[in-house]
Amino acid sequence: MISPEVAGSEAPTALSVIEAIRRRRSIRRYRSDPIPESVLGELLEMTRLAPSGCNAQPWRFVVVRDEATRARLAEACTFVARRSGEVYPQRWIAGAPVVVVAWGFERDAGAIYVREGQAIVADGAEAAEDARHMGVGFQSGLLIDLAIAFDHLALAATALGLGTCWIAGLNEPKVKEVLGIPAEARAPLAMTLGYPAEWPGPRPRKQLSGIVFYDRYS
């Protein structure tokens, strides 16, 4: 079902962030209408304004509009079910007029590692070097930062009447190869963008009572 507010309204008044959070759905069927340059520009600007650990802004984005490249990218977006080993293609992705891939270098992000139980904040390159000397692992903030930027993108897109779907089910080396992203970078997330040809109902969420604890976990 297409939402009456969304169908045929290419330049809607932007929803509030609260309305956008309530309205957002994962959209997997899109109309072929292109996204106007001004709308795409605004969405990327909202993405750019996202916060990041240490304000490192380690993100980069490839905005894929070219049809042939979208088809190749969609072919690279497969995931495997652990139990059955079955490979699931996500060819529907090629039907979105724009697919954005978020990528970056772990060394460019803030990072956290633990020394004697205490979290140490460092930049990615420092953390990698310290962790190598100390023989401990470290956690790059890259994935967190990319996810925050993408949530800005998803909510801003919803506010302007577009649909989105997060994509983490992908073959990262293949995605990097299709888009010319360096092999040593990470490219863990994609997001489809376009005017929706469906507007599904809300997917279930857990009750607050099962996930929120005041003052102390009990």
Q: Which residues bind ligand FMN (CB under 6 A)?
A: 25-26, 28, 90, 165-169, 203
State which residue, 11 or 168, has the beta carbon closest to ligand FMN: 168
- Rounded to a whole number of angstroms, the minimum distance from the CB of residue 156 to ligand FMN is 16
Residue 141 beta carbon to ligand FMN: minimum distance, rounded to whole angstroms: 16
Residue nearest to ligand FMN (CB): 169
Nearest approach in angstroms of CB 118 to ligand FMN is 30
> CB 185: neighbour CB atoms within 10 A?
16
Q: Which is nearer to ligand FMN, 52 or 158 (CB)?
A: 158
Nearer to ligand FMN, 52 or 90 (CB): 90
Q: Which is nearer to ligand FMN, 130 or 151 (CB)?
A: 151
